[in-house]
Structure formats: structure tokens, C-alpha cells
Structure 1
């Protein structure tokens, strides 16, 4: 049988996910993997440098597919930051659920090692950039260093929240993963309620007013 002439990264990802789910392990070599799927080994290296590179990219692809779907929605583009993030979560976890067997295989294989963190490195980069682009309002201290720390802290906290939600989803056995949906709604809304700076701004303004009045009185 003639070798396939055109192989996309999506083809390789599909072949790889099918292989590991059928065999519960990575292919032994790229050569054997390419041969089993009827394409030349060099075609693999045109897209990926290793099987580990595929694994990293797969989690980034879940993110990319999520954003692609959301950006086609006119409603989404008009949402505030809170509802954009909620929409992201629900759509992202629909993507994960559609590939649940693979996600559980990949994450559980590395759950006791640093490789688990490396596996999600591309997802983390993309997700934290997304959080930054949401322009979630923080306290403007007029101090560049403090504002920078705030923004970094927001991105790291958001990333930890995503990881915790992924762990909850992996352990969820409710029909249609309805408990995960509830968890997402409560955790995202709680995060934004904590970040709600309007009352804090009012308090700061009130404090400034009192201070100013006291200074004038003296």
C-alpha cells in the first residue's frame, strides 16, 4: 500500500490518541508509529519533534479550539470579563469531556511527577495570556511594581483555579458532569466577587475624604 503523501498535525494527533488509548502506552518509536499509520517517518518530524511534544500540543489544541468556538459568537464578544471566563470554562470542559479517556490517561500517567506540569506548559501559557487579555479590573495603585505583582498574581491564581477544576472534573461521576458545571459557576463567580473592587474603591475614597477633612479641620 502506498504511503500517505499528506499528513497534517491533526492526523498525527488523532493517530497518537488512538494508539495510546488502545495500548495504554506511547508507541515504542516514531518509526514504528509512522509505519503503523502508513506514512513516512519524516512527515512526523515536519510537525512534532517527539511524542512529548504531541502531548503538550494536544492540551494547547483544546484551548485553541475553545477560543475558536467562542470568537464565532457575537454574544461572547459583548460579554464582560466574568461571563467571558464562564463561557470559556463551559466550552473548554466540553472539549475535555469529548476527549475524556485521553485526558485522564495523559494526566493520570504523570500525576506524581513534574512531567505532569510540563505536559500542561503550552496550555498554561495560552490560558494566562487569555486571562491578561480579559482586562479584569484590579486596584490601580499608581505603583508600577505593585500593579505588576497584582497582574502576575491574578494569572497564577486563575491558572491554579483551572487546575483545581480539571481535578474536580476528573473525579466527577455525576450524570453529564453536572457537578462540574455547578463547581465552575460557583468558583468563577466567587473569584469575581472577591475581585469586586467597587466596594473597596468606595472605602478608599471615603478614607481619603475623612483624611482630607481631618487635615482641613486641623
Structure 2
């Protein structure tokens, strides 16, 4: 899900796989090369229609939808207009239902921010990785220290965008304001699957 910790999950899987000695291609879906000979392909995607292959493992992240939408506005990827927010709210719930039904591991945003080592342990187990002692603690520290690029496009290795890591809240809409705008709209479980 966009702005739910999915880039953290991508980088967590990438680093755990690298530490295990696994050769891999790690890419955003638009940069993905299916012909790459690496035995493992780690591909980050949000839109189901962009995924033209059947993944062996699907990793998902979960964050309160109003927090995701507030973050999209902060990033400048969603207009701070009621109708745009309502459309994005419905899209977000359909997208979540699609991926949640296919997920092999779902990591909550609160776990990413509050218990990253536990999330990394669960991720390593789903990926069936044998790691040296202390690996998840080292990866948690490394992920916490990742820096988004200052300007330009996203980083092709980490997939971080300029402004990707929180902190800039001036002029941003709050999750509570999002909930007021979408009041009365369908909640999770009330929308049809994509």
C-alpha cells in the first residue's frame, strides 16, 4: 500500500536476502527486468494490473488508511481536495483488499516503527532465510539510518523519494481531517475486491 511502510518492507527484504548471500534483482515494477538471471526477483508494486506474473511470495504492509492519505498529501502525490481524498479512500480500500487476500506476510506500520526487529524476524522466516546472529538488529539499524535523496527522482536501490521519510508536517492535512472528509464512506470490508 502506498505510504504504509512498503518501501521499508522492500528494503528489509532486500537487505535480509543480501545478508543471506542470495543473488537477487530488486526493483520497482517499472524498472523490473523479468529476463534477469538472478534466482530471486524482489519487485515492489502497488497496482495489481502492473504485476503481470504470479509472485511466489507476496509481502504487504498495513497502516491506517487516513494516515496513508495524509502522507500522500504531504508528499504532494494526492491533492488536498475532498473529492480527490474520497476517490483515493475508495481506491485504497480496494487495493488493500486485493493484496491482503494474497499476502504471505503482512507487516503493520506500528511494528515497523515500534518493533522492527520482530518484523524482520518474521520476514526472514517467511523468506526461509538462515541469517547470522545479530543480523536483524543490524538490518533494523541500517533501515532506520536510510536517507532519502535530497532532490530528483527516487533512489533506484532503496526506492526512497525526496521527502520520503516523515518529518515535514507544515501545511499537511491530519489523519483526523481525512476521517472527517470520508465520514460515511465505506470502511474496510465494505468495498468489493479489485
TM-score band, normalised by shorter chain: under 0.3
Compare relative contact order (CA 8 Å, sep 6+) and give the higher one, 1 or 2: 2
TM-score, L = length of structure 2: 0.27
Query: If each structure's strand is expressed as a fraction of its own residues, which one has the higher value?
Result: 2
Larger Rg: 1
TM-score, L = length of structure 1: 0.25
